[in-house]
Amino acid sequence: MQLVEGLYVAASGALVVAGLTMVLLAIRAYATTRRTAMVHLSLGFTLVVAATTVTTLSAFLTDFNNVKSILLVNSGFSTFGYAFVVYSLISYD
C-alpha cells in the first residue's frame, strides 16, 4: 500500500468514526427529546458515513479505476446526507 492510499484509509476511517459518533449522539438526543430533527440529523450523518464507506471500498476493490463513477456516488450520498443535516437545523423547533 502506498503512502497516499494509507492516508486515504486513515482519513476515511476517521470520518466514519466521527460520523457514527454523530449518529449515536443524535439517536440519544431523539430518545431524550423526541424531536424529529434528531432523526433527520442521524439519517444525514448515516448517509455521509455510507458515502465514505462505499467510496473507500469501491476505490480499493476496483483498484481506483472508474474514479469518476466512484466520485459521483460519493457526491450523491454526501449531498443527500448534508441536505438532511441542514433540514434538521432548519426544522429544529
Mean pLDDT score across all residues of the chain: 95
Does residue 93 register a pLDDT over 80? no
When pLDDT is cut at 50, 70 and 90, the band that residue 82 belongs to is very high
| Cα 33 from chain centroid (whole Å) | 24
- Residue 24, number of CB atoms within 10 A of its CB: 12
Q: Domain span at residue 66? A: 3-91
Q: Which three cell numbers stand for residue 27?
A: 439517536
pLDDT digit string, tens, across residues 28-53: 999 999 999 999 999 999 999 999 99
> Number of structural domains, the chain?
1
Do 93 and 37 meet the contact criterion of CB atoms below 8 Å apart? Answer: yes
